[in-house]
Amino acid sequence: PYRRSELLVQRFLEGYMTESRDFAQVFQSPSMKMQMDEIEKILRSPKMVDLNKRQAQYLALQNQINPHFLYNTLESIRGEALIAGLSGVADMTEALAKFFRYTITNVENLVTVQDELDNCATYFLIQKYRFGERLQLHIDYDSEDWEDIMGCKIPKLTLQPILENSIIHGTELKVETGNLRIQFERTQDRLLVRISDDGVGMDAETLAKLNRKLGRDGNDLIHEEERKGGIALANVNSRIHLIFGEEYGLHVYSVPQKGTDVEVTIPFQRD
């Protein structure tokens, strides 16, 4: 019976739905059966079905992109640019290929902060070709904690979408130079990442509405932003909730005509 129950639970965790009577034959304890029934109810809920549908749609879209074709095409463009003496075009094409390679390659959910920061640097380099010296990026950290922070695990594509959001909704709308700042702060059991801009900011009503939606599961905001394209703040926030729990995630601070801070809180873990 023990071996059978172990096998049954293992298959259940792998996603195989099992009839309730199968559990009843193995789990004699009423409380255990109630727990398994509740888990099955959650897995069959509309919210979970919708989440699985989204994941399937994302994977289907991802599979439509042929990475090798994309990389080879960009490399060909880079080669032609070098032959023509257009080093700027060659460098931008190389950065774009590196950015796409990181973005669409199917890897594990968690990467290191160093990986995410490298991707931000690549993305910022691409944006520099557009904005020139009008856009500046600064990285702040405590040198004593730097090595530990760089090895901390974080959901893939957490920082770059927030940085992109800061450019589009903040510094891009400025006439003067726009400054972006990524700050890292470690506590005993948490990592705080603050991505700031000195852009146009937002009014109190808009800010409160955004934080209310981030405080919930964020589904409404995800639907809204999906229509616009790109990875929204709510998407990043929801993925952090799913991986680490709802005590972690995003919170936004903003002052009109002064700028916006997006704070990301995750547990500090290296393994």
Judging by DSSP bridges, how do beta strands 110-112 and 153-155 pair with one another? antiparallel
Of 168-172, 246-250, 256-260, the one with minimum mean pLDDT is 168-172
Average pLDDT of span 60-64: 57
Last residue of a domain, one of 106, 125, 154: 106
Are 117 and 72 found together in one domain? no
pLDDT at 60 over 90: no
Give dist(CA 203, CA 191) in Å, integer: 28
Is residue 81 located within the same domain as residue 70?
yes
Q: What is the DSSP string of 8-56?
A: HHHHHHTT----HHHHHHH---HHHHHHHHHHHHHHTSHHHHHHHHHHH
| Same-domain pairing of 27 and 123 | no
The reported pTM is 0.71
Write down the pLDDT at residue 230: 37
Q: What is the model's pLDDT at position 169? A: 86
Token pair listed for 78: 């880079």
Containing domain of residue 92, as a range? Answer: 46-106
The structural domain count of the chain equals 3
Mean pLDDT estimate for the chain: 80
User: Which ranges constitute the DSSP H helices of 139-265?
Assistant: 146-151, 159-169, 204-215, 219-228, 233-244
- pLDDT at residue 226, as a whole number: 45
